[in-house]
Amino acid sequence: MLPALDHSRSNSRNSRRGSGSYLPPHSASLAPLSGIDKTTGVFEVHELIRDTACRIVEKLTAGEITPIDLLDVLEKRIAEVDSKVNALPILCFDRARDHACALMHQPVSQRGCLAGLPVAIKDLVDVAGLRNTQGSRIFRDNTPISSDILVDRLERSGGVIYARSNTSEFGAGANTVNELFGATLNPWNASRSAAGSSGGAAAALAAGMAWLAHGSDMGGSLRNPASFCGVVGLRPSLGRVARTPKFKIDRNLGIQGPMARTVEDVALMLDAMSGEHPGDPLSLPSPSESFLATTRSGKRPKRVAFSSNLGITPVDPQVAAVAERAARRFAETGVIVDEAHPDLREAHECFQILRAFDFAVSKASLLRSHRDLLKPEVIWNIEEGLKLSMEQIERAEAQRVAMAARVLKFFEEYDLLLSPATIVEPFPVRDRYVSECNGERFDNYIEWVAIAFAITLVCCPALSLPCGFTDSGLPVGLQMVAAPRADGALLAGAKELEDILGLRGSTPIDPRPAT
């Protein structure tokens, strides 16, 4: 049974306001975008909530709105809807307004590419002075004194941190639920999961409580929630986003990445997050052209491959059909669409071993000191890692190298690889994970996300793009994959297909009740 929702908040206040204000919402549904009220000069909450992040930045740089205005809008929106989905359990509007005021004392040209745009941070990464629980009772009172490299970079780029998004414990498990804050519910149907572990980020975006949100991804933890909630999530190339190393310098299964409601907004956030840093030896320099400019370049792929299952997993037939219809629409612009996939036959064995090894390296000390406070899946992962032999690790690393080489060869012929981002529609939130699909049962709680973790292993950037809906009205995401370090080409291709599909603007939505 899932724990009850906990909507406790940390240091939020309403006393300080900027030059803008807001009016109460005039209906239960989001109003159409109509801009600022010329007669009163005030902002309607729902008007700004529906704007894209890129458009908000344009308004910030033009002086039409201030970062304080945006924080006011978000605080109002969160108060209206978060009790229905439980996406943002920790708020820090005091801290956010202090940062926003400091930014407003700088010339607009010096405020960074985000120019004061609020950003939600997943509850796994350190933000100075803000609780970082990692979804664990062990760290319920943990308050770091310094920020992770990626948080520092976002703030230097003009991002204003105002909330932490909910996560599964230590990011383990593709259903966002933990013993501290409870379950995050899917805004499209509150009886369904938002997936995980970046489910809080995805639900906040879909419900209009964020324009940009940080996520992280090891076995699909960013792509799965984006798919389930009808938003866009990008797992970038290895090293694209610098982060503070913990436990292991070259730890590389997990990647930090941007989430938003459109491809352009994801590109904007990637620009704010990316770049090399001496604190992260794996980090890459920023490209000469911004990711946003590349995304808008109009460059399209010449030949893409679609696979309903990557040859390694069952997929719900309806989900597969929705994804394939979307993929084949690339042909409308002259793109060749083939049915093909690289050879990923070792993915299951390889990922299970390397993931278990990662858990042993990063969490074995917690097993020794706090076993009674860890959820069963985390205990299982750590113990599996501690049982590994050097021969098993050697074999898994060799399998990864072989798969990565075959994938590089595959991308000599194809510009993009497309597949469903997840193998099922959003499942009931009371289920801890998907135990079977299309008549095939899974042995453990990780096996069902193979369509995502196979791409993790071969070091490719991967994006989940909203591509349609099931018969029950639930979102389906299309996984789009490019060759390693081809993040710009991936984003440009994703925007091209996003334009074709015409689904941009499907979110934000008012959270819908359980059915």
Give the integer Cα–Cα distance in Å for 36 and 208. Answer: 18
What is the sign, positive or negative, of the torsion defined by CA atoms of 510, 433, 452, 181? positive
Q: Residue 482: inside a domain, yes or no?
A: yes
The confidence score (pLDDT) of residue 498 equals 98
Is 195:426 a contact under the CB 8 Å cutoff? yes
CATH number of the domain where residue 210 is located: 3.90.1300.10
The confidence score (pLDDT) of residue 90 equals 98
The confidence score (pLDDT) of residue 46 equals 74
Q: Residue 5: inside a domain, yes or no?
A: no
Residue at 216: amino acid letter: S
HSE-up of residue 349 (Cα within 13 Å, Cβ side): 13
Q: Residue 403: inside a domain, yes or no?
A: yes
Q: Residue 320: inside a domain, yes or no?
A: yes
Domain coverage including residue 215: 22-347+390-501
Q: How many domains does the chain have?
A: 1
Beta strand extents in 110-195 (DSSP E only): 118-122, 160-165, 177-178, 182-183, 185-186, 189-193
Q: Residue 202: inside a domain, yes or no?
A: yes
Taking 50 as the pLDDT cut, the residues of the chain under it are 1-36, 38-41
Alpha-carbon torsion, ordered 113, 114, 119, 124, to 10 deg: 10
The confidence score (pLDDT) of residue 2 equals 39
Q: In what order do the strands lie in the sheet with 475-481?
A: 90-91, 160-165, 118-122, 212-217, 255-260, 232-235, 462-469, 475-481, 416-420, 303-306, 336-339
Q: Residue 440: inside a domain, yes or no?
A: yes
Q: Residue 170: inside a domain, yes or no?
A: yes
Q: Residue 134: inside a domain, yes or no?
A: yes
Token output for 32: 């159409």
Percent of the chain clearing pLDDT 90 (strictly above): 90
The confidence score (pLDDT) of residue 43 equals 57
Q: For residue 490, what is the enclosing H or E element?
A: helix 487-501
| pLDDT tens digit sequence for 44-63 | 667 899 999 999 999 999 99
Q: For residue 217, what is the enclosing H or E element?
A: strand 212-217
